[in-house]
Amino acid sequence: MKKESNKDSSKRANLSRKLRQIDDEGDVYKQIFEHSVIPIVVHDLEMNIIKVNNSAVELFGYQRTEFLQKSIYELHTEDGLSYSADVLKKVQKMNKLSTESSFKRKDGSVFIAAVTPCKYLVGDRHIVHVYIEDITEKRKAQTELKELNSTLEAQVNKVKKQSREIKKNNQELETFGFVAAHDLKAPLTNIVALADMLNSESFTNRKSSEIYSKLKGSISVMKKTVDTLNSVIDFKTKLDQGVERLEFAKILNDVKVSISEQLEASDAQIKEDFSECPEVDYPPLHLSSIVRNLLTNAAMYKAPERPLEIEVKTTRYNKRLCLSVKDNGLGFDAEKYRGKIFGLFKRLHPKVNGVGAGLYLVKSILDAHGGKIEVESKPNEGAYFKVYLK
């Protein structure tokens, strides 16, 4: 036989101390009635109390002798009296039921209880055996929870309404931007054509010729801005493009062909390493745009005193694919401009010919697909972009 451990013995001793001691030589069932943790009241069909146990005495606060001189009606609140009468009528027809009612203690305090009356026939006399469980705290907690749920539901509905309003406003702003950019394109094209029909020799004096040159410069900047806005808006409408299995080497090669003039002008040397992650499932247009904008950015911000070197690589990082593009160009203070880098029309080198839309498009693509982009850079030390694709 397995010997009882000290731990098991200790548990059994603690349990014994918590239990009521029953005298096995006495009336066991009577003792169980008296020591039950559930308050029990026994009454006849006239509602006169016949017997109560210790828990009922403790719950209501009456002495046992006081208790036995009362009727069930005297334990109820005013609100519970009529309800108690209805319960009595049901008990006369049924042997058992479950309900709830309100009671008052000797000190006047009120509580809500779950009541389970059971009818028995003792000889030729009917008696009702009633379990009374105080559920005041339970009901209070349920009420508080209901109120909290109502408040939460109201807040959720408020947030949903605000979300719908924000979405509507964004759609209106997007439509406005599209219409404005689109409507500006045609007259601006005409202005450019008209300006091209003129030349500085058409003006008779030097001052007029200088004004014309400045006008052409301003028109060129404006055209580039409007074209960029149209490109961004057009691109935003294509963010739900389907996913395909793509090879990084092929995407990079296609991009190099499409921007060959910029790469040749900057005398760029590109090193690639896709050995760790050669493929990815991604929308073709979007991956091409990410690679093209990062390479264009590197070529645009080339340091004039040294040849441009670009490293393009893929690795795995925390169950994500990381596409990195590193260059040895002009660089910038990444900490200082962290909130500006990926904004539309944000340029970190004013003297460089650009409109500040490339990195904005990259960030937009990644946001739409659950990805992210990080950058490390210092002035004159190049830039290191890490794109995490989901």
The string of pLDDT tens digits covering residues 277-325 is: 999 999 888 898 899 889 988 998 888 888 999 999 999 988 789 999 9
How many Cα atoms sit within 13 Å of 31 on the Cβ side?
Answer: 10
Length of the chain: 390
The candidate with the shortest Cα–Cα distance to 173, out of 163, 183, 185, 181, is 181
**Which residues, given as ranges, of the chain have pLDDT below 50?**
1-2, 15-17
- Cα-based distances in Å from 46 to 84, 105, 114: 12, 21, 21
The candidate with the shortest Cα–Cα distance to 50, out of 33, 28, 36, is 33
Q: Position of tokens 């105080």?
A: 134
Taking the C-alpha atoms of residue 177 and residue 62, their distance in angstroms, rounded to an integer, is: 79
Reduce the secondary structure of the chain to three states and give it as a string: CCCCCHHHHHHHHHHHHHCCCCCCCCCHHHHHHHHCCCCEEEEECCCEEEEECHHHHHHHCCCHHHHCCCEHHHHECHHHHHHHHHHHHHHHHCCECCEEEEEECCCCCEEEEEEEEEEEEECCEEEEEEEEEECHHHHHHHHHHHHHHHHHHHHHHHHHHHHHHHHHHHHHHHHHHHHHHHHHHHHHHHHHHHHHHCCHHHCCCHHHHHHHHHHHHHHHHHHHHHHHHHHHHHHHCCCCCCCEEEEHHHHHHHHHHHCHHHHHHCCCEEEEECCCCCEEEECHHHHHHHHHHHHHHHHHCCCCCCCCEEEEEEEEECCEEEEEEEECCCCCCCCCCCCCCCCCCCCCCCCCCCCCCHHHHHHHHHHHCCCEEEEEECCCCCEEEEEEEC
What pLDDT was estimated at residue 224? 66
What pLDDT was estimated at residue 376? 92
Average pLDDT of the residues of the chain? 81
What pLDDT was estimated at residue 1? 46
- Residue pair 330/303 in contact by the 8 Å Cβ criterion: yes
What pLDDT was estimated at residue 165? 83
The candidate with the shortest Cα–Cα distance to 390, out of 322, 332, 292, 298, is 322
Contacts of 378 (CB under 8 A, 6+ apart): 331, 332, 333, 334
